[in-house]
Each structure stands twice: as structure tokens, then as C-alpha cells.
């Protein structure tokens, strides 16, 4: 684990890339992308208009679909190295959801959590008669960038690209057999086929994952184009599970009155500090300000202890 230092708050915690050598172990962890974290932090503390809500929910639904796929992949017990949610540049910028490196092949998997009925006609996707973003265009761009980066290091494992529509309520009319598309009803069979072909991985596959990691664009914060100030924001603490602000003081813990989840106060303060640096990366955070940021729900002694601990490690 990385030590949670002040520098960690500002830089490492918001990494867009998660890498693990995964050979059927447990507890896969997918770090939330910085975009999702930023919109979540803002949504709790300021008013969102309808356009902002739509953007926020789209990002959140996207992450929930990726998280669900991660759980399914874990359950299948496939030997692989995993690179999650990396942004790469090679003349163009592209986003890679999952790069699954097995013994014999690299799988580039773009996860979509769309719902409802879509139509594919003459190279375009439509929903309710309106043109939608073409996920195949995004997939092909990601493939091209990844292929160039791997060729640069003479990595010759073949790449297989797929768009996976994880939501069982998604329907696509006009889908063709040669499209690199996997529907939720096809996912179990697809992963079973990958497992059947895969054998144990070794250091070579680990090095491929590490190389892809080294190519990432590391963003510690994003510009949402939303105007806000510290003074205009709601102060307080929220449940990490359901985002409710109905948190009851339980000595060293807070309990959520909505979902009954318990969380250590020190952990909540640590997360609050992360959110502050996410939204105000160039501002100084003191124990008094952190206490105010938490809605004065915790003691200055605790906020000082959290900051001191993380500065000294």
C-alpha cells in the first residue's frame, strides 16, 4: 500500500490507472477515475443544474458498469495482469477501460453501461431517433494507440478488442456477427472461452502491464467547467456508501442512518482531505480548515492528527 502522505493526497490517490498481477486471487480493487471522484465531490457540496446532473450520472453509471465487469472478471478466476482505466496519448488522447493481459493475448475491453434500445444504421448508433456516440470509433482509436505503444517495445502478443455492453436492459438492432461487440447475455461464454485458452502468466506479462502504466497520462484533477468557491460549498461529512449526510456520531466512528454503514472518523477525515485537494489542488489545508470542511463534525485534534500523520510519513 502507498503511504497516505500530504503529497499522496495531492498526487497519487487520484491516479487514473490501476495495475495488478491477478491470478485468481480475491479483492480486486478498481480505483474510481478522477472524473467520477470530482463530480461526486462537487455533487455533494453544490447545486447541479440538469445538464451537470446528466454529465455526473453518465460518469457514475459508466464507473458502476466497469465495477460490475471487474467483479465478474474476478469471479471467473482467469490468470491475467490487469490495467484499469488508463489515459494514453500518441498524437491523440484515448481512454482504455480494461487491458487484460493473458498468457497468449491482450484483450482491450471497453465497457458500456447503456440501457434501452439502440439502432445501428450505416455506421452510426441511434437511440430514440437521435444520433449517439459510436463506441466502435472510440474502441478503434484506443486500439490504434495501444498497438503503436506495444510495437514500440516489440511486444508481439496479439490484441483482441471488444466493446462490452454490461447492462442486461441494453438492446442493439442492426448488430452484425463481425462487430467486436459482446452483449451481457454473451459475456459468460466469452470469458469462459478466454479462460479455456489462458495459462499461467509470468514476469513478461507483468512487465507489459508496467510498461502500459508508464505510458499513462497522470491527471490529479480535472476542469469540469463548473464555477465554485470554498465559501459557496456545503460543509459536512457524507456516507461513502450511499452519499447520505445523515451521519450519527458513535465515538470513534460515524454510522450512516440511511444504510447503517460504520466508518472510522479518521478514515472519513482522510477522505475529506482528499476531496479538498481534488477540488482545490493549489490551496493549503490546515487543521482548522479541514475541521470546517467537515462541517465541524470532528475535533480539531483529530484533523490535526490526520494531517500531521500524513505529512510525517
Q: What are the structural domain ranges in the chain?
A: 1-13+232-313, 17-214
Distance CA 27, CA 217 (A): 26
Query: Whole-prediction pTM value?
Result: 0.85
* Contact between residue 27 and residue 81 where contact means Cβ atoms under 8 Å apart: no
Please answer whether residues 146 and 92 qualify as being in contact, where contact means their C-beta atoms are separated by less than 8 angstroms: no
Q: How high is the pLDDT of residue 237? A: 94
Please, which residues have CB within 8 angstroms of residue 300's CB and are 6 or more apart in sequence?
Answer: 287, 288, 291
Q: How confident is the model at residue 69 (pLDDT cuts 50, 70, 90)?
A: very high
4-54 residue pLDDT tens? 334 434 433 333 334 444 444 444 668 889 999 999 999 999 999 999 999
Look at the block and give the residue holding cell 450519527. Answer: 248
Task: Give 111-159 pLDDT, tens digit per residue.
Answer: 999 999 999 998 899 999 999 999 999 999 999 999 999 999 999 999 9
Cβ count within 10 A of residue 15: 19
Percent of the chain's residues with pLDDT above 90: 77
Which CATH code fits 17-214?
3.40.91
Q: How far apart are CA 98 and CA 191, in angstroms?
A: 14
Q: Report whether 73 contacts 261 (CB < 8 A).
A: no
Q: Are 85 and 37 in contact (CB under 8 A)?
A: no
What's the pLDDT band for 311 if we cut at 50, 70, 90? low
Amino acid at each position: 500500500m502507498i503511504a497516505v502522505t500530504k503529497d499522496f493526497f495531492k498526487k497519487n490517490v487520484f491516479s487514473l490507472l490501476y495495475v495488478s498481477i491477478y491470478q485468481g486471487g480475491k479483492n480486486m480493487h478498481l480505483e474510481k477515475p478522477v472524473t467520477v471522484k470530482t463530480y461526486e465531490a462537487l455533487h455533494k457540496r453544490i447545486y447541479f443544474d440538469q445538464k451537470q446532473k446528466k454529465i455526473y450520472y453518465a460518469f457514475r453509471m459508466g464507473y458502476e458498469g466497469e465495477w460490475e465487469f471487474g467483479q465478474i472478471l474476478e469471479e471467473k478466476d482467469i490468470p491475467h495482469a490487469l490495467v484499469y482505466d488508463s489515459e494514453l496519448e500518441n498524437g491523440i488522447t484515448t481512454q482504455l477501460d480494461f487491458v487484460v493481459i493473458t498468457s497468449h493475448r491482450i484483450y482491450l475491453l471497453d465497457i458500456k453501461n447503456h440501457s434501452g434500445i439502440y439502432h445501428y444504421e450505416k455506421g452510426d448508433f441511434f437511440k430514440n431517433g437521435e444520433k449517439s456516440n459510436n463506441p466502435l470509433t472510440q474502441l478503434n482509436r484506443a486500439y490504434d494507440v495501444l498497438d503503436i505503444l506495444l510495437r514500440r517495445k516489440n511486444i508481439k502478443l496479439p490484441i483482441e478488442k471488444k466493446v462490452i455492453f454490461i447492462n442486461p436492459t441494453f438492446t442493439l438492432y442492426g448488430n452484425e456477427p463481425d462487430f467486436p461487440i459482446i452483449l451481457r447475455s454473451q459475456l459468460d461464454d466469452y470469458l469462459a472461452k478466454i479462460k479455456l485458452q489462458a495459462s499461467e502468466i509470468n514476469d513478461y506479462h507483468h512487465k507489459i502491464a508496467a510498461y502500459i502504466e508508464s505510458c499513462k497520462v497522470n491527471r490529479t484533477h480535472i476542469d469540469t467547467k463548473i464555477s465554485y468557491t470554498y465559501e459557496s460549498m456545503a460543509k459536512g461529512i457524507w456516507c461513502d456508501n450511499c452519499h447520505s449526510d445523515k451521519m450519527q456520531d458513535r465515538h470513534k466512528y460515524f454510522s450512516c442512518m440511511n444504510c447503517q454503514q460504520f466508518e472510522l472518523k479518521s478514515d472519513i477525515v482522510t477522505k475529506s482531505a482528499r476531496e479538498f485537494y481534488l477540488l482545490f489542488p493549489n490551496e493549503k489545508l490546515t487543521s482548522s480548515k479541514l475541521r470546517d470542511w467537515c462541517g465541524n463534525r470532528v475535533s480539531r485534534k483529530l484533523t490535526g492528527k490526520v494531517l500531521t500523520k500524513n505529512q510525517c510519513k
